Amino acid sequence: MSSAVLVLSGPSGAGKSTIINAAADSIGDFYFSVSTTTRTPREGEVEGKDYHFVTKEQFEEGIVNGDFLEYATVHGNYYGTSLLPVKEALEKGKLVIFDIDIQGHRLVRDALGSKVVSAFITPPTLTELEVRLKARESDSDEVISKRVSNAKIEIEALNEYDFLIVNNSIEEAKNAFISIANAARHRMSQEENKEFIKQWVSQ
């Protein structure tokens, strides 16, 4: 199967990670984009799974070379999304999956163009989202209120996405995600279309 970029966005508590994990065995070889950082790995963290760990010099060289989609400094350490592992994965024919917010989706669109397919994942209603956030019992009421407020803003960007996945049940959402992932692999970029036309008319 051909390579592709699939961007997933949606409010915290929408079930994005759960859906990806449930579909992992059905979408072929994929690379899940993880951040690059200059901080020291914590106990149990795995290179390439939790983060890509690099030196400050390597990170700053990447900044100069324009390798980062975005980056920031947090507590004296760099964090960012490097395009190098993304491009390497695409060259190997992998599906590259981003789990990022709406601003990140716009950055990926600008950087990778027609290769990008995107899906917005959400519970069926705002009320249901709040119920799920409370059920996790991992956030304070203040944090939950902030996440709900952010969700109201995020949903307004729905028209910027190619697909909508309503996570009413994990099984249904998983199947929808698999269909979208397979469709992404068959979508041709403008460059690929031009190359196909060139080969087609010459034979």
How buried is residue 28: exposed, middle or buried, by Cβ count under 10 Å (0-12/13-18/19+)? middle
Model pLDDT, residue 63: 94
* Domain 1-29+94-203 bears CATH identifier 2.170.150.70: no
Q: Identify the pLDDT of residue 53.
A: 95
pLDDT at 1 (0 to 100): 59
Q: What is the mean pLDDT of each run of 10 residues along the chain (203 residues)?
A: 88 91 94 92 87 94 92 88 91 92 89 90 95 87 91 95 96 97 87 88 90
- Domain boundaries for CATH 3.30.63.10 within the chain: 34-92
Q: What is the pTM of this model?
A: 0.84
Residue among 158, 178, 181, 146 at smallest CA distance from 3: 181
Smallest CA-to-CA distance from 151 within 129, 131, 136 is with 129
For 50-169, where are the alpha helices, taking DSSP H only? 56-65, 84-91, 102-112, 126-136, 141-154
Domain with CATH 3.40.50.300 in the chain: 1-29+94-203
**Architecture in CATH of 34-92:** 2-Layer Sandwich (3.30)
133 to 90, 145, 148: CA distances (angstroms):
35, 10, 9
